[in-house]
Every structure is written in structure tokens, then in C-alpha cells.
């Protein structure tokens, strides 16, 4: 099993910068990652030694199943987050890496690029989300399962090489829809209810069928490979107990690092070429 001590320490440092970003010199080289997620848009900034500098995020419904459905809305959010960070750290952000769900076509990848470039950042690298996550986790063998707002993606790794990627619709948005229907709530209220720490034990039994669907997706894609461990990342993986259901359904040991939500955006920033 992978020792997450280093990655957990890095994530802890990144968490601190959400409320306490670091000031930097105007000429300092920075690594920037923009994560255009179904539920959240996140920008992570690191220094050239990959130490966290800043992190900004905003809830948004401008991406659906990895596709940009509100180009102007997405661009405006990225521009706003970029400006917020620049004002806090004291310098301009100029270049960024981005990531897309596994199997995203060239046309849709370009749309992600255009959003970020339209917000004033030169895109210097595009990679798939689970591969970005592994920049943080350093997994040699196993499968990274990235459960975001709209999709469940996975990347199977053998001897440090990605040998298979896949992505299917079903993610945190589907959990929220179930909560909204069960409690007769508006979507936004259900999203907040689902994420509330003191409500998770109440929400969990309600959303188990959706988690089982996610597990089924993973199970179907790993059948032809000798996967001994699954590693969960993505915002939906923060749900308490999700790893237990996935392990039970897939019969594969399932591991969750510290704050799975930040793993992928951190890995995207680490892949920024300066």
C-alpha cells in the first residue's frame, strides 16, 4: 500500500493557503493548475519547488459530464478566481495547466483550453484528471478513481505507467439530485446539506444506490486487469463511508487519502510547465 505521508502533508499545506495565501515576489516563477469541475472550479498556485502558495474555488454549474455548457460563465469564474489570487499574493498569474476527464475528445479539450485562455492564462499543459492525481499520490500499481461532480473516471496504473483510462457519467451531482428528491429540497440546498459534516451519516443511507452504481462502473472497467488497490480522489470521495461501499461492491481494497477534493487540482498545478 502507498504511504500517503508526503502527499497528506502537501495537501495540509494547501488547505492552509485557502485562508492564508502566501505573498510572493513579482518575478517569481509559479506553477498554476486550473480544475474545471462539474461542481467546483478550483485554481491552485505553487512555487517553483511545488510548495503551496494559494488556492481559490467557487461552486459552479458551468461544466456537465466534463463538457463546458456555459463558456462565458466558466471563463468569468476563472477570471475572478485568478484576480482574487493575484491581489492576495502580489503578482500576476500568466501560465497554467489544465486537466480533462479520461477519454475527453480533442474538440472538448480545446474548449477547456479556450475557457482558461479567455480568462488570461496561457495553457501550457493538458492532461487527464487521474494522471494529474497520481502526480500527488505516486502510485506504482493500482487504479485511481476520480469521482467528481458529473463523472466517475479511473486510471489503471501498472509499474508506474498508465495502461487504461475510462470515464462514465455518475458523480456527486447525481448524489445531490437523490438528496434533493428525498428531502424535497432545491438543488443548491441539497448540495449544502449533502456536504454538511453533521448530516453525512443521515445522507449516506439515502445515496448508497448511487455509490453502488459508481462501484459498478469501476468494477466493470478493472475486470481485465490485476488491480489490487483502488485510490479514491475527487470531491465526491470526501463523503464519509464511500470507500466502504466501493470496497464491498468491487471486492478490491479501497483507500482514501487526506482531502480527496484537493488531490487532482494540486496534481494539475504540479504539471504546469514553466
Q: Which residues pair with 153 in a beta bridge?
A: 146, 167
Q: Which residues pair with 234 in a beta bridge?
A: none
Q: Let me know how many helices (H) and strands (E) the chain has, helices first.
A: 9, 12
The structure's pTM equals 0.89
What cell was used for 190? 441539497
Give the pLDDT confidence score for residue 3 in this predicted structure: 62
Residue 133 has pLDDT above 60, yes or no: yes
For the ranges 53-57, 103-107, 132-136, 199-203, which has the lowest average pLDDT?
103-107
Confidence of residue 2 (pLDDT cuts 50, 70, 90): low
166-188 pLDDT per residue, tens: 888 888 889 999 999 999 999 98
- H or E segment to which residue 110 belongs: helix 106-118
Please name which of 40, 10, 28 lies closest in space to residue 267, comparing C-alpha atoms.
10
Mean pLDDT, residues 249-258: 94
Of the chain, the percentage scoring pLDDT greater than 90 comes to 66
Q: Which span out of 62-66, 113-117, 158-162 was modeled with the highest average pLDDT?
A: 113-117
Amino acid at each position: 500500500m502507498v504511504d500517503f505521508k508526503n502527499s497528506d502533508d502537501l495537501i495540509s499545506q494547501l488547505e492552509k493557503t485557502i485562508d492564508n495565501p502566501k505573498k510572493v515576489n513579482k518575478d517569481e516563477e509559479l506553477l498554476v493548475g486550473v480544475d474545471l469541475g462539474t461542481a467546483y472550479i478550483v485554481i491552485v498556485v505553487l512555487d517553483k519547488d511545488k510548495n503551496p502558495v494559494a488556492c481559490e474555488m467557487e461552486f459552479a454549474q458551468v461544466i456537465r459530464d466534463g463538457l463546458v455548457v456555459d463558456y462565458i460563465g466558466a471563463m468569468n469564474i476563472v477570471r475572478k478566481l485568478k484576480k482574487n489570487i493575484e491581489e492576495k499574493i502580489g503578482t500576476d498569474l500568466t501560465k497554467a495547466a489544465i486537466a480533462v476527464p479520461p477519454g475527453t475528445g480533442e474538440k472538448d479539450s480545446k474548449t477547456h483550453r479556450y475557457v482558461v485562455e479567455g480568462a488570461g492564462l496561457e495553457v501550457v499543459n493538458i492532461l487527464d484528471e487521474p494522471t494529474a492525481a497520481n502526480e500527488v499520490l505516486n502510485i506504482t500499481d493500482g487504479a485511481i478513481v476520480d469521482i467528481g461532480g458529473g463523472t466517475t473516471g479511473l486510471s489503471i496504473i501498472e509499474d508506474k505507467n498508465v495502461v487504461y483510462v475510462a470515464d462514465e457519467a455518475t458523480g456527486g451531482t447525481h448524489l445531490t439530485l437523490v438528496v434533493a428528491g428525498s428531502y424535497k429540497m432545491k438543488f443548491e440546498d441539497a448540495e449544502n446539506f449533502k456536504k454538511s459534516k453533521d448530516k453525512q451519516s443521515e445522507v449516506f443511507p439515502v445515496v448508497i444506490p448511487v455509490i453502488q452504481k459508481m462501484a459498478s462502473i469501476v468494477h466493470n472497467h478493472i475486470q481485465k486487469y490485476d488491480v489490487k488497490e483502488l485510490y479514491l480522489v475527487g470531491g465526491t470521495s470526501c463523503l464519509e463511508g464511500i470507500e466502504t461501499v466501493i470496497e464491498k461492491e468491487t471486492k478490491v481494497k479501497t483507500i482514501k487519502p487526506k482531502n480527496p477534493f484537493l488531490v487532482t487540482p494540486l496534481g494539475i498545478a504540479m504539471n504546469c510547465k514553466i
